[in-house]
Structure 1
Amino acid sequence: MVNEESMRPSDIRFTHDSIQYKFTDGRTLTETFRQLLRKVTSIENIPKMEVMPNKGKWFVVRGNRRLFVYKELEKRNQIEQVQVTKRIFNRELFDKQYTSSNEGRSVKIRGRGLEAVMQDFNEVWEEYKRENPFCPIL
């Protein structure tokens, strides 16, 4: 059974221990964050994440990079919820995806490093705030 529903990114955990800095289409996490923040693209144009429950928590099984970006937008009060596809628990899929060493609370970033990416996100955010002092929620 699958259904679509809105969820707060902060209520979803990662399945991966680490994520690649670039998406399959070549865009980086930073570019995606910037484009969503500046409304160059909208969340509706990005494929929905797929999530499933495990031991009372929701985990993303398709979309760990998207989740990373959405969590950062939520922290800055730019989004409240995103549409996700909820799946019933599938042990085989979950075990194949799950590499987290901290119950899905955070991820490392391959190809750039978490500290560098967070610095990039903070610079993009500060620039955005200077240009948009009222910062509406997306």
Structure 2
Amino acid sequence: MRIRPSELRYTQDTIANHFRNGWSLDSSLWRLLRKPDDVNSRIANLPTMEVMQHDGHYYVVGGNRRLYLLKKLESAGIISDVDVIITFDSARFNRQHTTKCEGKFVTVRYSLNMDEKLDHVIAKYRRKQNDMATTVNCECDIKKAESCKHRLMLLQGEPNMMQLCIGHLKFVACLTSADCAMDPIYGPLKLEGIQTMNDVCNSDGTKTTASILALLIVFLAQFFM
């Protein structure tokens, strides 16, 4: 079953400020968020929380510290829902049910400013996320990539296989120097150019010369293209 962390309640009135492995709650949160492009898979790999229904509400009996972090991630808009296991054991529930506010809130022991620490971690994640977006957006030199594409278009109708081979080698080297591998337009175009280059340059009579030219052109592209 999938459910929003905000719809889950704590069975405990307090939680420790660290996990059993010794990691603090804030350092554990950073371990989840430190790679923005891998957050969902990291969260999916967390142990599934055990949930019991009581008085019309779902209470977490296995994973109150995880719930605390997941609620924070949901409020920050980083996740929406999580997997839970529905079960019920009245004896276990009664042992853990120490909350005095119907499980709506929980206190972190020995840490009066844990919320602030978690907010700091999320702010750090946002900055890293923005830096990654800026890097991706700025990677490709669009003007240079357009020039690469223009040169390739001049080869249309070229009957000489060697000239076609050299032209596609230059095109791929040109896009490589423009850092367009991650660009949504020129990235696929570069892959297409590599495939065409392989087809053309591997035809009879061009293989040996093409392999030498490929190394030379890719090297020169770093300086002159």
* TM-score greater than 0.5 by the shorter chain: yes
CA distance 1:82–1:134, shift in 2 (3 Å) = farther
Gaps of 5+ in 1: none
CA distance 1:93–1:83, shift in 2 (3 Å) = same
Which structure carries more strand by proportion?
1
Larger relative contact order (C-alpha < 8 A, sep ≥ 6)? 1
Matched to 1:122, the amino acid is D
Shift of 1:55: 0.8
CA–CA separation in structure 1 for the residues paired with 2:131 and 2:93: 41
Matched to 1:127, the amino acid is K
Shift of 1:61: 0.5
User: Percent of pairs identical after alignment?
Assistant: 36
> Contact 1:9–1:71 (CA<8 Å) still a contact in 2?
yes
Shift of 1:44: 2.6
> Contact 1:17–1:99 (CA<8 Å) still a contact in 2?
yes
Output the TM-score relative to the length of structure 2.
Answer: 0.54
SS where residue 130 of structure 2 aligns? coil
Structure 1 runs of 4+ aligned residues shifted over 6 Å read none
Equivalent residue runs for 1:90-105 within 5 Å: 90-105=89-104
Shift of 1:31: 1.2
Structure 2 partner of 1:133: 130
CA offsets 1:34-64 (integer angstroms, 9 cap, x no match): 1222347712322111001001000000100
Gaps of 5+ in 2: 133-225
Taking only aligned residues, the RMSD between alpha carbons, in angstroms, comes to: 2.0
SS where residue 24 of structure 1 aligns? coil
Output the TM-score relative to the length of structure 1.
Answer: 0.86
Which structure carries more helix by proportion?
2
Shift of 1:134: 9.0
Matched to 2:48, the amino acid is K
Aligned residues: 129
1:19 corresponds to 2:15: yes
> Contact 1:37–1:78 (CA<8 Å) still a contact in 2?
no
CA–CA separation in structure 2 for the residues paired with 1:59 and 1:38: 29
Matched to 2:10, the amino acid is F
1:8 corresponds to 2:27: no
CA–CA separation in structure 1 for the residues paired with 2:32 and 2:78: 9
CA–CA separation in structure 2 for the residues paired with 1:118 and 1:48: 23
